[in-house]
Amino acid sequence: MQIKSSVHDYAVEEFGTFAETLTAARTAQPLYLIDRRVHELYPGEFASVPPESCVLIDASEKQKAFENLTPVFLEILRHGMRRDWTLIVIGGGVLQDIGCFIATVLFRGARWELIPTTLLAQADSCIGSKSSINIGPYKNQIGTFYPPHRVLLTDDVLRTLPWDEIRSGLGEVIKLQLLSSRADYAELMTDLATFKGEGATLAKWTRRSLTVKQPYIETDEFDRGVRNLLNYGHTFGHAYESATDFGIPHGVSVILGILTATFVSAQLGLVDAQHYLELKTALAPWHQPYGDVLRAAERERVFAAIRHDKKNTRGVVQCILTRGPGAMEKRAVSLEDELVPAVNTFIDGELS
Ligand SMILES: NC(=O)c1ccc[n+]([C@@H]2O[C@H](COP(=O)([O-])OP(=O)(O)OC[C@H]3O[C@@H](n4cnc5c(N)ncnc54)[C@H](O)[C@@H]3O)[C@@H](O)[C@H]2O)c1
Ligand SMILES: [Zn+2]
């Protein structure tokens, strides 16, 4: 798969084993930025990667904060990285965000390659150029657009992914298939009805998800127009994540956010209530029991987060709502009059 970007075009390449992927990523002067957990889980694979070219970091929202990146920059520089070296980033969305941000500004632009190791990163975030970094209490409020020079995909590395991280990745997969069409969404849900973590199913939907995302990021790389639709479920999802101190995995929050956006759409008469009820039943296994975590969150923190979202001004929230599968649209919704009552009803009554 070849992705067009105004920064530079890049390829998404597929490999068999994780070991083969690491071999394929090796460049003349590599500097590896690796998720510490992935490094621990694959000692055999990493045996051939010299420790002096590795920087290991924790995949946490805290580590993704601007104020905590200085030690990472310093460690990379202490390892001797120069402008003509390649940063090889190995991990999930957190490592991708940090690696992309560093590659953008280090030497005013370093070559970088990405080996995504979570379903979320493989099926969604690995294409699209974005880095998003937290600052103080604000999540993802600073960032850049700078795609990797290569993305190297391997299903092999997903075998160690915990079930909640699989569900989190499926949140983005479900979102993308809902954006695509009723038929694609129905096919996905048929596959998920018997899904127990099989690699072949994950591989199929990773590719299908990237194919749905590709035209959005190619026609609107800088997220000024149609790419906004990829935020379906995210205005609410981000608020749920931050109101629970990241107690809900990102993609699971997105599932809860998709349900909220669809509930609001039904309340505003954009979509048949039947569509919402079908989604509610179909998506329950993919978010339970995180509804309880959300219900326990301080409600005012949820609304404060929605109010603080960078897309919102003066009591009006820009939401991606739906008229059904394949039919999302951006709408300005009044926070106090429309959203607060709908979100309260959703959280109190719809999540059991
Ligand atoms: N830049 C973008 O376009 C974009 C898009 C979506 C999400 N994001 C960001 O991505 C982050 C979430 O990313 P994520 O869901 O990939 O989570 P993550 O990077 O936090 O990883 C989740 C957990 O899985 C572990 N892990 C990673 N790979 C593993 C493997 N192969 N086996 C076992 N454990 C493994 C990690 O150590 C971590 O504990 C959020 O910060 C979100 O804001 C960015
Ligand atoms: Zn997301």
Per-residue confidence in pLDDT tens, the chain, 352 aa? 999 999 999 999 999 999 999 999 988 899 999 999 999 999 999 999 999 999 999 999 999 999 999 999 999 999 999 999 999 999 999 999 999 999 999 999 999 999 999 999 999 999 999 999 999 888 888 999 999 999 999 999 999 999 999 999 999 999 999 999 999 999 999 999 999 999 999 999 999 999 999 999 999 999 999 999 999 999 999 999 989 999 999 999 999 999 999 999 999 999 999 999 999 999 999 999 999 999 999 999 999 989 877 566 778 999 999 999 999 999 999 999 999 999 999 999 888 7
- Ordered alpha helix ranges (H), the chain: 18-25, 36-41, 43-46, 70-78, 93-105, 119-120, 163-180, 182-193, 199-219, 234-243, 250-267, 273-287, 290-296, 299-308, 340-349
- In this structure, what token pair is assigned to residue 212? 């749905």
Phi, psi of 30 (to 5 degrees): -95, 145
Q: Counting Cβ atoms within 10 Å, is residue 327 exposed (0-12), middle (13-18) or buried (19+)?
A: middle
Nearest CA residue ID for atom 19, ligand 1: 92
Q: Among 122, 134, 127, which Cα is nearest to 98's?
A: 134
Nearest CA residue ID for atom 10, ligand 1: 93
* Predicted pLDDT at 28: 83
pLDDT digit string, tens, across residues 17-66: 999 999 999 888 999 999 999 999 999 999 999 999 999 999 999 999 99
Residue 223 alpha carbon to ligand 1 centre in Å: 21
* Predicted pLDDT at 312: 65
Task: Quote the CA–CA distance of 298 and 320 in Å, as a whole number.
Answer: 24
Task: Quote the CA–CA distance of 41 and 277 in Å, as a whole number.
Answer: 40
pTM here? 0.95
Residue 196 alpha carbon to ligand 2 centre in Å: 23
Task: Quote the CA–CA distance of 282 and 304 in Å, as a whole number.
Answer: 29
Residue 336 alpha carbon to ligand 1 centre in Å: 33
Residue 169 alpha carbon to ligand 2 centre in Å: 9
* Predicted pLDDT at 310: 57
Where does residue 324 fall: left (phi above 0), alpha (psi -120 to 50 degrees), or beta otherwise? Answer: left
Residues having CB within 6 Å of any atom of ligand 1 = 35, 37-38, 41, 59, 61, 64, 91-97, 117-118, 120-121, 124-125, 128, 130-132, 140, 157, 160-161, 165, 168, 250
* Predicted pLDDT at 137: 82
Following DSSP, what letter does each residue of 155-169 receive, concatenated? Answer: GGGGGG--HHHHHHH
Task: Tell me the best of 40, 104, 250 to mutate to test the pocket of ligand 1, counting ligand atoms within 8 Å of each CB and taking the most.
Answer: 250
Task: Quote the CA–CA distance of 89 and 108 in Å, as a whole number.
Answer: 18
pLDDT digit string, tens, across residues 181-198: 999 999 999 999 999 999
Residue 42 alpha carbon to ligand 2 centre in Å: 27
| Omega within 30 of 0 (cis) for the link into 341 | no
Mean of per-residue pLDDT scores for the chain = 95
> Residues near 18 by Cβ (< 8 Å), separated by ≥ 6?
42, 45, 154, 156, 157
CB 322 within 8 A of CB 247: no
Nearest CA residue ID for atom 18, ligand 1: 92
Following DSSP, what letter does each residue of 186-236 receive, concatenated? Answer: HHHHHHHHT-SS-HHHHHHHHHHHHHHHHHHHHH-TTSSSGGGGGGTTHHH
Side chain identity at residue 255, one-letter code: I
* Predicted pLDDT at 328: 97
Task: Give how far Cα 186 sits from Cα of 182, 214, 276, Å.
Answer: 6, 21, 14
pLDDT digit string, tens, across residues 129-140: 999 999 988 888
